[in-house]
Amino acid sequence: MSIKVAPSILSADYVNLQRDVELVEKAGAEYVHIDVMDGMFVPSISYGAAWVKALKPVTNMVLDVHLMVVNPERYINEFADAGSDIIGVHYEATPHIHRALQMIKAKGVKAEVVINPGTAVELIKPVLHMVDQVLIMTVNPGFGGQKFLPESIDKIKQLAAIKAEMGLDFDIEIDGGVNGDTVKAAYDAGATVAVAGSYVYDKVDPAAKIAAMKELTK
Ligand code: DX5
Ligand code: ZN
Protein backbone atom coordinates (compact mmCIF):
# COMPACT_ATOMS: atom_id res chain seq x y z
CA MET A 1 0.00 0.00 0.00
CA SER A 2 1.26 3.47 -0.89
CA ILE A 3 2.15 5.87 1.89
CA LYS A 4 -0.76 7.91 3.26
CA VAL A 5 -0.29 11.58 2.46
CA ALA A 6 -0.92 14.38 4.96
CA PRO A 7 -0.55 17.82 3.36
CA SER A 8 0.31 20.45 5.97
CA ILE A 9 -1.82 23.57 5.71
CA LEU A 10 1.09 25.52 7.23
CA SER A 11 2.14 26.05 3.61
CA ALA A 12 -1.38 26.60 2.22
CA ASP A 13 -2.91 29.92 1.21
CA TYR A 14 -4.75 30.96 4.38
CA VAL A 15 -7.24 33.23 2.64
CA ASN A 16 -8.14 30.35 0.33
CA LEU A 17 -7.90 27.59 2.90
CA GLN A 18 -11.07 25.74 1.89
CA ARG A 19 -9.94 25.70 -1.75
CA ASP A 20 -6.49 24.40 -0.79
CA VAL A 21 -7.94 21.69 1.44
CA GLU A 22 -10.47 20.54 -1.16
CA LEU A 23 -7.76 20.41 -3.77
CA VAL A 24 -5.61 17.93 -1.83
CA GLU A 25 -8.61 15.85 -0.83
CA LYS A 26 -9.60 15.47 -4.49
CA ALA A 27 -6.00 14.49 -5.26
CA GLY A 28 -6.21 11.55 -2.84
CA ALA A 29 -4.66 12.86 0.37
CA GLU A 30 -5.95 10.89 3.35
CA TYR A 31 -5.07 13.34 6.14
CA VAL A 32 -4.86 17.07 6.52
CA HIS A 33 -2.05 18.04 8.91
CA ILE A 34 -2.67 20.98 11.23
CA ASP A 35 0.45 22.46 12.88
CA VAL A 36 -0.33 24.23 16.13
CA MET A 37 2.55 26.39 17.39
CA ASP A 38 2.51 28.32 20.65
CA GLY A 39 5.54 30.61 20.35
CA MET A 40 7.13 28.78 23.31
CA PHE A 41 7.77 25.16 22.37
CA VAL A 42 8.70 26.51 18.94
CA PRO A 43 9.38 30.16 18.01
CA SER A 44 6.37 30.74 15.75
CA ILE A 45 2.70 31.16 16.56
CA SER A 46 0.38 29.57 14.02
CA TYR A 47 -3.29 28.83 14.72
CA GLY A 48 -5.52 27.15 17.27
CA ALA A 49 -8.58 24.98 17.80
CA ALA A 50 -10.86 27.42 15.93
CA TRP A 51 -9.13 26.33 12.71
CA VAL A 52 -9.87 22.68 13.41
CA LYS A 53 -13.50 23.57 14.05
CA ALA A 54 -13.67 25.57 10.82
CA LEU A 55 -12.15 22.76 8.74
CA LYS A 56 -14.26 19.95 10.20
CA PRO A 57 -17.39 20.54 8.08
CA VAL A 58 -15.55 21.16 4.81
CA THR A 59 -13.52 17.95 4.57
CA ASN A 60 -13.75 14.20 5.09
CA MET A 61 -9.99 13.86 5.49
CA VAL A 62 -8.56 12.80 8.84
CA LEU A 63 -7.83 15.95 10.86
CA ASP A 64 -4.28 15.27 12.05
CA VAL A 65 -3.41 17.81 14.73
CA HIS A 66 0.25 18.30 15.67
CA LEU A 67 0.50 20.22 18.93
CA MET A 68 3.85 22.03 19.18
CA VAL A 69 2.77 23.43 22.51
CA VAL A 70 4.28 23.42 26.01
CA ASN A 71 2.18 21.35 28.44
CA PRO A 72 -0.32 20.24 25.79
CA GLU A 73 -2.60 18.80 28.50
CA ARG A 74 -3.98 22.34 28.79
CA TYR A 75 -5.46 22.18 25.29
CA ILE A 76 -6.32 18.53 24.61
CA ASN A 77 -10.01 18.77 25.48
CA GLU A 78 -10.44 21.93 23.42
CA PHE A 79 -8.84 20.36 20.34
CA ALA A 80 -10.82 17.15 20.81
CA ASP A 81 -14.11 19.08 21.07
CA ALA A 82 -13.19 21.06 17.94
CA GLY A 83 -13.25 17.83 15.91
CA SER A 84 -9.65 16.54 15.81
CA ASP A 85 -9.37 12.94 14.66
CA ILE A 86 -5.77 12.50 15.81
CA ILE A 87 -3.99 14.61 18.41
CA GLY A 88 -0.19 14.48 18.60
CA VAL A 89 1.72 15.59 21.69
CA HIS A 90 5.49 15.98 21.93
CA TYR A 91 7.40 13.77 24.35
CA GLU A 92 9.57 16.83 25.06
CA ALA A 93 6.69 19.19 25.83
CA THR A 94 5.45 17.68 29.09
CA PRO A 95 6.75 15.75 32.08
CA HIS A 96 3.48 13.78 31.85
CA ILE A 97 3.39 12.27 28.39
CA HIS A 98 1.50 9.22 29.66
CA ARG A 99 -1.21 11.38 31.20
CA ALA A 100 -1.46 13.52 28.06
CA LEU A 101 -2.01 10.41 25.92
CA GLN A 102 -4.58 9.10 28.43
CA MET A 103 -6.46 12.39 28.15
CA ILE A 104 -6.57 12.16 24.35
CA LYS A 105 -7.88 8.60 24.48
CA ALA A 106 -10.45 9.50 27.12
CA LYS A 107 -11.96 11.92 24.58
CA GLY A 108 -12.25 9.11 22.01
CA VAL A 109 -9.61 10.70 19.78
CA LYS A 110 -6.65 8.85 18.26
CA ALA A 111 -3.49 9.45 20.27
CA GLU A 112 -0.08 10.24 18.86
CA VAL A 113 3.30 10.72 20.53
CA VAL A 114 5.81 12.92 18.69
CA ILE A 115 9.60 12.93 19.06
CA ASN A 116 12.08 15.59 17.98
CA PRO A 117 15.25 14.74 16.04
CA GLY A 118 17.28 14.89 19.28
CA THR A 119 15.06 12.44 21.16
CA ALA A 120 15.85 8.72 21.17
CA VAL A 121 13.20 6.25 20.03
CA GLU A 122 13.74 4.07 23.14
CA LEU A 123 12.34 6.82 25.36
CA ILE A 124 8.80 6.37 24.07
CA LYS A 125 8.72 2.57 24.50
CA PRO A 126 6.67 2.79 27.72
CA VAL A 127 3.80 4.57 25.92
CA LEU A 128 3.79 2.75 22.58
CA HIS A 129 0.99 0.40 23.67
CA MET A 130 -1.26 3.46 24.09
CA VAL A 131 -0.82 5.15 20.73
CA ASP A 132 -2.44 4.97 17.32
CA GLN A 133 0.39 6.85 15.65
CA VAL A 134 3.98 7.89 16.33
CA LEU A 135 5.37 10.98 14.63
CA ILE A 136 9.10 11.02 14.05
CA MET A 137 10.11 14.60 13.30
CA THR A 138 12.45 14.60 10.33
CA VAL A 139 13.40 18.26 10.91
CA ASN A 140 13.52 20.35 14.07
CA PRO A 141 9.94 21.57 14.49
CA GLY A 142 8.82 25.14 14.02
CA PHE A 143 9.07 25.98 10.35
CA GLY A 144 8.09 24.64 6.97
CA GLY A 145 10.57 24.33 4.13
CA GLN A 146 13.54 22.79 6.01
CA LYS A 147 15.77 19.97 4.80
CA PHE A 148 15.01 16.34 5.70
CA LEU A 149 17.53 15.07 8.28
CA PRO A 150 19.05 11.87 6.82
CA GLU A 151 19.70 10.39 10.28
CA SER A 152 15.91 10.09 10.63
CA ILE A 153 15.94 6.98 8.47
CA ASP A 154 17.65 4.94 11.20
CA LYS A 155 15.12 6.14 13.76
CA ILE A 156 12.24 5.06 11.53
CA LYS A 157 13.86 1.63 11.11
CA GLN A 158 14.39 1.33 14.86
CA LEU A 159 10.78 2.21 15.57
CA ALA A 160 9.52 -0.21 12.91
CA ALA A 161 11.60 -2.98 14.52
CA ILE A 162 10.25 -2.19 18.00
CA LYS A 163 6.71 -2.11 16.59
CA ALA A 164 7.15 -5.60 15.10
CA GLU A 165 8.85 -6.93 18.23
CA MET A 166 6.04 -5.64 20.47
CA GLY A 167 3.34 -6.81 18.05
CA LEU A 168 1.76 -3.35 17.80
CA ASP A 169 0.20 -1.75 14.76
CA PHE A 170 0.40 2.04 15.13
CA ASP A 171 1.08 4.24 12.12
CA ILE A 172 4.54 5.76 11.73
CA GLU A 173 4.33 9.34 10.48
CA ILE A 174 7.19 11.53 9.27
CA ASP A 175 7.14 15.32 9.19
CA GLY A 176 9.61 17.81 7.74
CA GLY A 177 11.45 18.00 4.45
CA VAL A 178 9.37 15.25 2.89
CA ASN A 179 9.32 15.43 -0.91
CA GLY A 180 9.85 13.35 -4.04
CA ASP A 181 13.50 12.82 -3.12
CA THR A 182 13.05 11.77 0.50
CA VAL A 183 9.72 9.93 0.73
CA LYS A 184 10.83 6.58 -0.70
CA ALA A 185 13.67 5.91 1.74
CA ALA A 186 11.40 6.80 4.66
CA TYR A 187 8.65 4.53 3.31
CA ASP A 188 11.10 1.68 2.81
CA ALA A 189 12.29 2.19 6.40
CA GLY A 190 8.72 1.76 7.70
CA ALA A 191 6.91 5.12 7.51
CA THR A 192 3.20 4.76 6.77
CA VAL A 193 2.08 8.43 6.76
CA ALA A 194 3.96 11.35 5.21
CA VAL A 195 3.34 14.97 6.12
CA ALA A 196 4.32 17.39 3.37
CA GLY A 197 3.88 21.16 3.46
CA SER A 198 6.08 23.13 1.11
CA TYR A 199 6.49 20.26 -1.36
CA VAL A 200 2.73 20.04 -1.87
CA TYR A 201 1.74 23.68 -1.64
CA ASP A 202 4.67 25.94 -2.52
CA LYS A 203 4.82 25.56 -6.27
CA VAL A 204 2.35 24.60 -8.95
CA ASP A 205 0.12 21.55 -8.98
CA PRO A 206 -0.34 20.09 -5.49
CA ALA A 207 -2.26 17.16 -7.03
CA ALA A 208 0.80 16.11 -9.03
CA LYS A 209 2.96 16.16 -5.89
CA ILE A 210 0.53 13.88 -4.09
CA ALA A 211 0.41 11.55 -7.10
CA ALA A 212 4.21 11.49 -7.17
CA MET A 213 4.43 10.52 -3.49
CA LYS A 214 1.91 7.72 -4.05
CA GLU A 215 3.72 6.51 -7.16
CA LEU A 216 7.13 6.48 -5.45
CA THR A 217 5.79 4.33 -2.59
CA LYS A 218 3.82 1.69 -4.48
C1 DX5 B 1 7.27 21.78 11.09
C2 DX5 B 1 5.87 21.28 10.95
C3 DX5 B 1 5.60 20.65 9.65
C4 DX5 B 1 5.75 21.54 8.45
C5 DX5 B 1 6.42 20.70 7.40
O6 DX5 B 1 7.49 22.15 12.39
O7 DX5 B 1 5.60 20.32 11.96
O8 DX5 B 1 4.38 19.95 9.62
O9 DX5 B 1 4.53 22.02 7.94
O10 DX5 B 1 6.80 21.52 6.36
P11 DX5 B 1 7.68 20.99 5.14
O12 DX5 B 1 6.97 19.81 4.55
O13 DX5 B 1 7.76 22.17 4.24
O14 DX5 B 1 9.02 20.59 5.70
ZN1 ZN C 1 3.75 19.06 11.73
Domains within the chain, CATH numbers bracketed: 4-216 (3.20.20.70)
Which among 139, 178, 210 is the best mutation to test ligand 1's pocket, defined by most ligand atoms within 8 Å of the CB? Answer: 139
The answer, yes or no, to whether any atom of ligand 1 lies below 6 A from the CB of 31, is no
Q: For this structure, is 175 an active site residue?
A: yes
Please, what is the average pLDDT of the chain?
98
Residue ranges for the binding site? 8, 33, 35, 66, 142-145, 175-177, 197-198
CA 216 – CA 206 distance, rounded (Å): 16
Distances (CA, A) of 209 to 7, 179, 196: 10, 8, 9
Mean pLDDT for 151-161 is: 98
Ligand nearest to the CA of 141: 1
Asked whether the CA dihedral 13, 172, 213, 53 is positive or negative, the reply is negative
The answer, yes or no, to whether any atom of ligand 1 lies below 6 A from the CB of 6, is no
Per-residue confidence band for 135, with pLDDT thresholds at 50, 70 and 90: very high
CB 81 within 8 A of CB 41: no
Distances (CA, A) of 188 to 9, 67, 156, 204: 26, 27, 9, 27
Burial class (CB in 10 A: 0-12, 13-18, 19+), 147: exposed
CA 214 – CA 218 distance, rounded (Å): 6
Lowest mean pLDDT among 137-141, 196-200, 203-207: 203-207
- pLDDT at residue number 16: 97
Express each pLDDT in 16-62 by its tens digit. 999 999 999 999 999 999 999 999 999 999 999 999 999 999 999 99
- Of all protein residues, the one whose alpha carbon is nearest to atom 10 of ligand 1 is 144
- pLDDT at residue number 203: 78
Q: What is the percent of the chain with per-residue pLDDT over 70, rounded to a whole number?
A: 100
- pLDDT at residue number 204: 86
Per-residue confidence band for 109, with pLDDT thresholds at 50, 70 and 90: very high
- pLDDT at residue number 79: 99
- pLDDT at residue number 126: 98
Q: For this structure, is 154 an active site residue?
A: no
